[in-house]
């Protein structure tokens, strides 16, 4: 008999709309009733290669609230540095191979969750998502993406916050703007990739607003978005003009990211980025929207990405979205641990 294929949560695009909708429904139930026993006797390893406030706190507490236990590991800090290259002679800094790490953890825990940002040197390498894929390849338990080159848990929290705001699970017909914003450093494209993916998956009319064509996202995620529009309706457009993109928008979602053509060679990108500080989300631009709602994944640099007035306005649902991380991740863990 064929062994049961393990279902991971690496990207929402791997999951059917029916299954995503079920996760969102379960998350709403967990929001109403915090405690449960879906993870009774179960455990999860949370492997962090990068810092976190929301992801770590919400996963640890989420496991606890469902009767489970979370173990946090930071390879290179409180756990051994891990090698991911196959067939390599490990005479450098890494102390053990993912082939052993993932299989050993699988003997201890029921799920493994991984945060591994890009190394920001070579996008052709980072886009392979080697760390997450290495865990998924070698683990014998489900693997969850805590943000690598996408951020699927954030996607679900974002959608749930929008559904709550509009009072309906059906977001079709909403005008959704994913806007690039300035940041002094070139940041990960993960949340932007994810926002584009889930907004098109929900059938919204999506505009990717960014300074120049160089800031358009990787072809994999642009392709997913186009595929989603073909399958779910809605639309996808690209704009480099803030005011026309904001005009009549129902949703403004902001994120900063580095332009992929300059990946690993960020010096020439900086003067370009510096010209677009006016992409900040401010009161004037929000006033152009259809009484639109604003959100961001957080962390957010105030008065760089969005003004104090926008962050403190009733239009801002970023805190709701952050809270929803807890509820959606409980739904994801419960679904994976009991498959």
Pick the stretch among 25-33, 178-186, 221-229, 297-305 that binds ligand CP (CB under 6 A). 297-305
Q: What is the chain's length?
A: 339
Binding residues for N(2)-acetyl-L-ornithine: 147, 255, 298
CB of 157 to ligand CP, least distance (A): 8
> From CA 129, how far away is CA 162, in angstroms rounded?
28
Q: Which is nearer to ligand CP, 52 or 232 (CB)?
A: 52
**Contacting residue, 29, 53, 121, 230, with ligand CP by CB under 6 A:** 53
- Figure out which of the listed residues 154, 228, 289, 295 binds ligand CP, where binding follows CB under 6 A: 154
Which residue in the set 8, 42, 54, 330 belongs to the binding site for ligand CP (CB under 6 A)?
54
CB contact at 8 A, 148 and 190: yes
Kindly calculate the radius of gyration of the chain based on its CA atoms and give it in whole angstroms: 20
Bind-site residues: 52-55, 80, 115, 147, 151-154, 255, 297-298, 325
| Of the residues 28, 43, 52, 239, which one makes contact with ligand CP according to CB under 6 A | 52
CB-nearer residue toward ligand CP: 99 or 187: 187
- For residues 296 and 305, the answer to whether their CB atoms sit within 8 Å is yes
Q: Are 310 and 254 in contact (CB under 8 A)?
A: no
Pairing assessment for the beta strands 69-73 and 43-48 based on DSSP bridges: parallel
Q: How far is the CB of 57 from ligand CP (least distance, A)?
A: 8
290 in Cβ contact with 315 (< 8 Å):
no
Name the minimum Å distance from CB 50 to ligand CP.
Answer: 8
298 belongs to the binding site for ligand CP (CB under 6 A): yes
Contact range with ligand CP by CB under 6 A, out of 74-82, 224-232, 241-249, 295-303: 295-303
Rounded least distance, CB 321 to ligand CP, Å: 9
The answer to whether 147 contacts ligand CP (rule: CB under 6 A) is: yes
Of 180, 38, 199, residue with least CA distance to 111: 38
- Cβ contacts of 271 within 8 Å, gap of 6 or more: none
Residue with smaller CB distance to ligand CP, 112 or 326: 326
- 327: contact with ligand CP by CB under 6 A: no
- Separation of alpha carbons 177 and 146, rounded Å: 24
As a whole number of angstroms, the distance between CA 272 and CA 179 comes to 16
CB atoms within 10 A of CB 164: 16
- Residue 27 contacts residue 327 (beta carbons within 8 Å): yes
Residues annotated within the binding site for carbamoyl phosphate are 52-55, 80, 115, 151-154, 297-298, 325
What residues make contact with ligand CP under the rule CB under 6 A?
Answer: 52-55, 147, 154, 297-299
């Amino acid at each position: 008999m064929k062994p049961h294929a393990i279902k991971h949560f690496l990207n929402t695009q791997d999951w059917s709309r029916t299954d995503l909708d079920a996760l969102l429904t379960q998350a709403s139930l967990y929001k109403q009733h915090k405690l449960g026993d879906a993870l009774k006797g179960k455990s999860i390893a949370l492997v962090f290669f990068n810092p976190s406030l929301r992801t770590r706190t919400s996963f640890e507490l989420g496991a606890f609230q469902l009767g489970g236990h979370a173990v946090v590991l930071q390879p290179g800090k409180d756990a051994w540095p891990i090698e991911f290259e196959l067939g390599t002679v490990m005479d450098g800094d890494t102390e053990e191979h993912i082939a052993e790490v993932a299989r050993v953890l699988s003997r201890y825990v029921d799920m493994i969750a991984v945060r591994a940002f890009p190394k920001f040197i070579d996008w052709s390498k980072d886009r392979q998502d080697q760390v997450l894929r290495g865990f998924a390849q070698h683990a014998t338990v489900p693997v969850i993406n805590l943000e690598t080159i996408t951020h699927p848990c954030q996607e679900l929290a974002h959608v749930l916050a929008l559904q709550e705001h509009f009072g309906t699970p059906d977001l079709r017909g909403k005008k959704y703007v994913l806007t690039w914003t300035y940041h002094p450093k070139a940041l990960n494209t993960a949340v932007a990739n994810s926002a584009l993916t889930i907004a098109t998956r929900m059938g919204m009319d999506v505009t990717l607003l960014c300074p120049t064509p160089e800031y358009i996202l990787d072809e994999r995620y642009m392709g997913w978005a186009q595929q989603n529009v073909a399958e779910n309706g809605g639309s996808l457009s690209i704009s480099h003009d803030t005011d026309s993109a904001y005009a009549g928008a129902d949703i403004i979602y902001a994120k900063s990211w580095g332009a992929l053509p300059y990946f690993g060679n960020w010096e020439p990108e900086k003067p370009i980025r510096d010209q677009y500080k006016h992409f900040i989300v401010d009161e004037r631009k929000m006033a152009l929207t259809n009484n639109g709602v604003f959100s961001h994944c957080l962390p957010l640099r105030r008065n760089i990405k969005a003004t104090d007035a926008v962050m403190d306005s009733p239009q801002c649902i970023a805190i709701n979205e952050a809270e929803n991380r807890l509820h959606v991740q409980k739904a994801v863990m419960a679904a994976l641990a009991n498959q």
